Amino acid sequence: MAVERITSSQFRMLVLYSTCSTSILSMPLILGSMSGRDSWWIVLLGTLLGAPIIFMLLTLARWYPKKTFFHMSQAIVGKKLGLLCAICFTLLPLLTVSTKLHYSTAFITTHLLVSTPTVIIVGLCMTVVAMACLLGIESFGRTAELTTFFFFAPLILLFVMKWPEADFERMLPIYRGETADYISALLFYISITACNSIILLSIYPGNVSNKKKAERAFWQGFLIACLILFLVTLLCITVLGPELMIASYFPMFTLSQRVSFGDFAQRVEALLTIIWFITIFFKITLYLYATVRGFSFIFNIKKTKTLILPIALLFVFIPLQAFDNSAKDYEFYVGPAMWLSLLIGGLLPIGLFIIGLVKRKKKKQPLLPRHSIESN
């Protein structure tokens, strides 16, 4: 059976969408409640500190250009420990998807479909996501590439319209909070950007056609996404102010509500809804795809598509039972979910990288082997 493959440009957009996702809406609120007006430099420093994790993920991919994370871990630490790594990897999307879905449904029920029951919204969302997984990675890879214009056009328009209103004096004074709060903000940012990127190893590098271009696409997608998150956070601070940014549960949506073109174009916040729907769709699809591949590897199931429907139903059930309100969702997101991402998406690849590095030194193999023509 032929292996499904996507191009490097499609993979770039998947990296970008996966890194942005709900962070476009939630990042200013969460970072603002932790570090206030200093959130803008937390994003910059967090991106810099998260870069080594991306480097390690890409190095693991270069060592095993035809494998995904599940087979990489077995090749590095053996069959039994590799199985344990696969279980940990699978638990990450399974246990943290509830925060994404709950926050998403809260946004929809608050601003779009106010009277619609939550179970109906989650069910409809997961129906579309399950269909994408059934069609395969090539299909939603092409979809990611086709939605590029619909993502960047509204985003650039929003930035251009709001930039003249920015008051950069609201960024001052700098570093007036507690150091512990800044550390918490940095850890949170790294967990949802760099550490969560480990999910992409469920398709990379084994299902990407050109490994050399895909490695460059990984960096580009990650850095562009971090730049977008920086601009979003900066605009919320300088336009809304740190106080209003923290007071609003959806600060980016509040920001976009203030955009209008004279008297003939109102409700420009609908453009943000388009951006958000695109990013969250691909995020949840990658989570479902990674979970399905994880279960199929752990239980040695050949026909992975048979797992999509039951796991999709599990994804519907989890957010409905996990949280009674948005406050509990927030506590889980900045608490257990953050530490789970740091442990599995941060410490796990670090451990695999160190063990793999020792093995390669013993075998006198280079740290960064060149991309072979065959792997491309």
1 falls in which pLDDT band (50, 70, 90)? very low
pLDDT at 269 > cutoff 80: no
pLDDT at 374 > cutoff 50: no
pLDDT at position 372: 59
**Which of these ranges, 197-206, 254-263, 279-288, has the smallest mean pLDDT?**
254-263
Q: What is the pLDDT of residues 180-211, one digit of tens each?
A: 999 999 999 999 999 999 999 999 988 898 88
Given a contact cutoff of 8 angstroms between Cβ atoms, the answer to whether 118 and 322 are in contact is no
Domains of the chain: 8-352 (1.20.1740.10)
Q: What is the pLDDT of residues 157-176, one digit of tens each?
A: 888 888 888 888 888 888 88
Length of the chain counted residue by residue:
376
What is the pTM (predicted TM-score) of this model? 0.92
